[in-house]
């Protein structure tokens, strides 16, 4: 991929240098240890009461004090990032910026305004509006805070464990998560969730598969623009993305996990389906190409 000349996004939140949620938890742990001492004296009990009232009062007003405390706690624990890590973050920033350009154009065609998502880089674990997440889960999008979360260590796994190396494969993963953001903005995700509530387990899975395949198709649309408008693609790039789409299909992951392949439990689609929908988005380069629900 020819990405170095690309624009960098303003929407990166880099938490890698921080201790992340474990630091915040450490803070909570210290608080809990202080409580018995405070309870021993009258002044201590009053202080505790003030603290509790203050904490829940702030919470009531919508301010989470533990979260406010986290960034200051984390700055002290910042680590040096290796040049390789820095370059990877730079790359992610360019890809995100490129998806922004793509979706601004596509939304304009629909008479809508695209709202850019944030992308959080983290290490090991992170607190999101969707709960506590560990890197082992792979990158994900949280509709609650409209942020993408990625631990760059996942890219090592893609290369070493999933057999999907290459920068375009890495970009595809981001473009897929951005696809979920697009579905959230367009109301697709809400409709799917609603339909799933009245559906059987198998039907709900099917809806999930359709939603995932559509995100793959949207990733393909990004690929189309990256290629035609910005000439970022080099030989072999598309193969990389298709290989990645195939490598992280549910059937393949299930097989790798040592189980038999059970199509009704697929929530992302088979490798073949993922490749097909990515290609469709890439070849047609428009949102109409991606109706996986019909
Ligand atoms: Zn997905």
Ligand 1 centroid to Cα of residue 177, in Å, is: 6
pTM of the predicted protein model: 0.75
Ligand 1 centroid to Cα of residue 176, in Å, is: 6
Q: What is the pLDDT of residues 150-169, one digit of tens each?
A: 888 888 888 887 778 788 88
Which residues, chain by chain, have CB under 5 Å from ion ligand 1? 212, 215
CA atoms of 15 and 291, how far apart (whole Å): 36
CA atoms of 134 and 139, how far apart (whole Å): 10
Contact, 121 vs 192, CB < 8 A? no
pLDDT for residue 227: 93
**Which structure tokens are listed for 193?**
């969730």
User: 């709202």: which residue's tokens?
Assistant: 115
**180 pLDDT above the threshold of 50:** yes
DSSP state of 266: -
Nearest CA to 172 out of 277, 290, 291, 294 is that of 277
Please compute the mean of the pLDDT values over residues 119-126 and round it to a whole number. 89
Contact, 177 vs 218, CB < 8 A? no
Q: What is the pLDDT of residues 3-15, one digit of tens each?
A: 989 999 999 999 9
Ligand 1 centroid to Cα of residue 210, in Å, is: 10
- Going from the C-alpha of 220 to that of each of 175, 179, 213, 285, 286, the distances in angstroms are 8, 10, 11, 7, 9
pLDDT for residue 60: 55
Q: What is the pLDDT of residues 17-61, one digit of tens each?
A: 765 554 444 445 555 666 666 777 777 777 777 776 666 666 555
More confident residue, 210 or 251: 210
Ligand 1 centroid to Cα of residue 70, in Å, is: 29
Q: Which of left, alpha, beta for 229 (phi over 0: left; psi -120 to 50: alpha)?
A: alpha
Q: Which of 70-74, 123-127, 206-210, 276-280 has the lowest mean pLDDT?
A: 70-74
């Amino acid at each position: 991929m020819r990405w170095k000349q690309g624009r960098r996004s303003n929407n990166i939140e880099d938490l890698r240098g921080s201790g992340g949620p474990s630091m915040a938890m450490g803070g909570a742990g210290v608080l809990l240890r202080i409580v018995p001492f405070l309870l021993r004296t009258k002044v201590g009990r009053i202080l505790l009461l003030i603290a509790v009232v203050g904490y829940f009062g702030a919470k009531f007003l919508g301010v989470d004090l533990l979260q406010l405390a986290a960034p200051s706690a984390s700055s002290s624990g910042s680590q040096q990032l290796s040049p390789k890590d820095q370059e990877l973050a730079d790359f992610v920033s360019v890809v995100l910026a490129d998806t922004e350009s793509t979706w601004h154009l596509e939304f304009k065609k629909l008479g809508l305004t695209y709202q850019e998502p944030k992308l959080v880089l983290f290490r090991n674990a992170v607190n999101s509006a969707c709960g506590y997440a560990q890197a082992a889960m792979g990158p994900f999008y949280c509709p609650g805070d409209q942020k993408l979360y990625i631990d760059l260590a996942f890219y090592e796994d893609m290369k070493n464990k999933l057999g999907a190396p290459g920068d375009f494969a890495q970009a595809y993963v981001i473009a897929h998560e951005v696809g979920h953001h697009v579905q959230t903005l367009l109301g697709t995700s809400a409709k799917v969730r609603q339909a799933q509530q009245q559906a059987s387990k198998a039907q709900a899975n099917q809806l999930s598969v359709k939603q995932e395949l559509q995100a793959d198709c949207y990733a393909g649309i990004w690929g189309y623009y990256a290629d035609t408008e910005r000439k970022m693609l080099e030989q072999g790039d598309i193969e990389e993305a298709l290989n990645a789409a195939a490598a992280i299909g549910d059937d393949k992951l299930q097989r790798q996990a040592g189980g038999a392949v059970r199509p009704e439990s697929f929530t992302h689609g088979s490798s073949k389906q993922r490749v097909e929908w990515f290609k469709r988005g890439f070849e047609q380069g428009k949102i109409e190409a991606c109706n996986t629900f019909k």
